[in-house]
Structure 1
Amino acid sequence: MELIDQQLISRINELAHKQKTTGLTEEEKQEQTKLRQIYLQAIRGQVKQQLSRIRFVDNK
């Protein structure tokens, strides 16, 4: 599982801004896709980790 750091987020945002303004090269599109996959994988891992800690208690 990859970690989400400020550098990753900054690069994703930089590419998103460039995509909206001047467009991306094929290489940048591939990088953007890869970085987004890393980001989503990290988020999913964090959610799974949080959910694995949840314990249900039945107070009947």
Structure 2
Amino acid sequence: MLDILKRINQLALKKKNEGLTEIEADELNRLRKTYLQIFRGSMENLLLNTTVVDPVGADVTPKKLRTEQARIRKKAIWSS
């Protein structure tokens, strides 16, 4: 992922300073989409493994998140 980010930054700098060819612009768009997919996937993974606790110590994880966590757990148990 760091390679992708490094290349995105190189192309963005070139775009700012001198402009990009059509091929480079396409590469930049493709790399940005790939980066966002990876980022969103890791955020989703992080959230699916998160529990929200209030200062008293009670579990206040939103129902929607708990439902999705349960769905993923059930799927993992039965899928092979």
If the TM-score is normalised by the length of the shorter chain, which range does it land in?
Answer: 0.7 to 0.9
1:41 aligns with 2:37: yes
Structure with max Cα Rg: 2
Gaps of 5+ in 1: none
Residue-by-residue CA offset, 1:2-44 (whole Å, 9 max, x unaligned): xx1x221111000000000000000000000000000000110
Match of 1:26 in 2: 22
Displaced runs of 4 or more, over 3 A: none
Q: What count of residue pairs does the alignment treat as equivalent?
A: 54
User: TM-score normalised to the size of structure 1?
Assistant: 0.82
User: TM-score normalised to the size of structure 2?
Assistant: 0.63
Over aligned residues, Cα RMSD in angstroms?
Answer: 1.1
Percent sequence identity over aligned pairs: 39
